[in-house]
Amino acid sequence: MINFTMLIVILPLIAGLILTVLPKKNEKAIEWTSLIFSLLIFIISLQIFLGFDEANPNYQYTFSFPWIPQWGINFSLGIDGISLLLIILTTFLMPIVILSSWKHIHKLTREYYILLFILETAMIGTFAATNLFVFFIFWEMMLIPMFLIIGIWGSDERIYATVKFILYTAFGSFMMLAAIIYLYTHVGTLEFQDLGTIRLDPTTQLYLFLAFALAFAIKVPMFPFHTWLPAAHVEAPTAGSVILAGVLLKMGTYGFIRLAIPLFPDAVMQCMPYLIALSVVAIIYGALVCLVQTDIKKLIAYSSISHLGYVMLGLLVLNQYGVEGSVLQMVNHGISSAGLFLLVGILYQRYHTREIASYSGMAQVMPKYATIFMIIALSSIGLPVTNGFVGEFLVLVGAFQYSRDFYEVSRNILTFLPAIFASLGMVLSALYMLSLVEKVFFGKVHEKIARGHIPHKDLTHRELLYFLPLIVLIFWIGVYPHYFLNKASGTIALLIATFK
């Protein structure tokens, strides 16, 4: 019987192998083959999603075989409620990324799509791994295709951005590898379920937690490990930015919820106040930096720091509301950030500038584009009936519940500060995003655009086609979030029970 988890992990690699035999110059065949395979992978993941048993909080669709028997390492995969949502997000975004790349990638086209499929395998494998060694292999596997995508198809400063990206990530990975080796030599197993039953002494937990947390904090990225992100986003091609913001950043938050938090509970409780403080700083700092940006793409990049601060805050308060909001917000941010980066890419392709000052009155020039932009911007802000509202609201409820619990013990009103400052972040988010919309889309059409030689071209049918699924999900999750939350609630409850 075919195991669906293993199938969606290896199928992107099979797609990449098939692309190698297609003629280099036949761009249309390469594009259509890539799109068909990406849709097939999504359909298989959708079958997993629909067949997932919500009542079972443990791993489903498991697969395992002896990989390195002399070391006792198995190639183990499985999907629970948390990894399910992130896998479906990954496979959902990939056809959109491929369709958005049509007619825009002309240099090494075949190699570009092969790298996308290798990256997809690495992302799915990271979310599906249930063995720590397998997790690390897929985690590291992601670096090579992302490095090449930014380095070959990126903008002028792409080499600087790729080197910074690799150095930051490699340092964190080195610390995680050291912790993995220690665990293996002292515990004798790397299977997630076996590791979850072992309770290390508090000092050992603290050192191991810090090693894992550093690797994941860099990937999120948490403040102050965020400085690689704006450069990577700005210099990456549109597809690179979409994958980076939509999925790769979630690998850091997923690492926390899958490994760092459940494996080292004593260390988590010891470090929790400091990590919550850093999360709140990221929310406020990211939003304030967005207010002074002059480049649209850089503004959206910094907004990711702020939004991922909410994800980390929800994880760290360790109650049902907070963690559910955090997991849902991972998906929500993947949708809204992907849409915004796609929109910026389209604007740059038309007018060859990302400077906010170079645009005004664009709603008159590109009304369809302006409508889509405003819907996704409102999703990013967290307007009610959009997906962003549900995720951030649950995180804030969880943060206030956490603060209330501590207040009942300490009777110190300062315990409410994290929740209050996180709420302020939502106001700042609305301020910078609505300011961007007002400057770019309203008022008089910018004179350079009005008398320019570039024809005013609104969204094409192809572009509307790949924005439509994003818009549907924005309102679907915003109106009926329980359809998605129910998949993960059992797994989240099992995680929180560790700390009771």
Contact partners, residue 352, CB within 8 Å, separation at least 6: none
How confident is the model at residue 1, as a pLDDT? 60
Burial class (CB in 10 A: 0-12, 13-18, 19+), 71: exposed
Q: What is the DSSP secondary-structure string of 182-233?
A: HHHHHH---BHHHHTT----HHHHHHHHHHHHHHHHHHTTPTTS-THHHHHH
CA-CA distances (angstroms) from residue 439 to 175, 353, 356, 456?
A: 44, 15, 7, 18
Residue 280 burial (CB count, 10 A): 24
Which pLDDT does position 377 carry in this prediction? 94
Q: Is the pLDDT of residue 410 over 90?
A: no
Residue-level pLDDT at 197: 78
Percent with pLDDT over 70 in the chain: 97
Say how many residues make up the chain: 500
pLDDT at residue 34, as a whole number: 93
Q: Which of 42-56, 189-203, 285-299, 438-452 is least confident?
A: 438-452
Q: What is the mean pLDDT of residues 108-128?
A: 93
Q: Are 41 and 81 in contact (CB under 8 A)?
A: no
Structural tokens at position 478: 């915003």
pLDDT tens figures, 335-344: 999 999 999 9
What would the mean pLDDT of 139-160 be, rounded to a whole number? Answer: 87
**pLDDT for the residue numbered 104:** 79
- Say yes or no to pLDDT of 93 above 60: yes
Across the range 212-239, mean pLDDT stands at 87
3-state SS track over 433-447: HHHHHHHHHCCCCCH
Over residues 391-408, the pLDDT tens digits come to 999 999 999 998 888 777
**How many of the other CB atoms lie within 10 Å of CB of 443?**
14
Mean pLDDT, the chain, whole residue set = 89
Distance CA 230, CA 299 (A): 9
pLDDT value of residue 456? 67
Per-residue pLDDT, averaged over 29-37, amounts to 93
User: Is residue 412 predicted with pLDDT exceeding 70?
Assistant: no
Q: Evaluate if residue 417 carries a pLDDT over 90.
A: no
Which pLDDT band holds residue 195 (cuts at 50, 70, 90)? confident
Name the phi and psi angles at 165, rounded to 5: -60, -45
What does the alpha-carbon distance between residue 173 and residue 186 come to, in Å, rounded to a whole number? 20
Q: Which of 21-25, 128-132, 213-217, 477-481 is the least confident region? A: 21-25
pLDDT given at position 132: 93
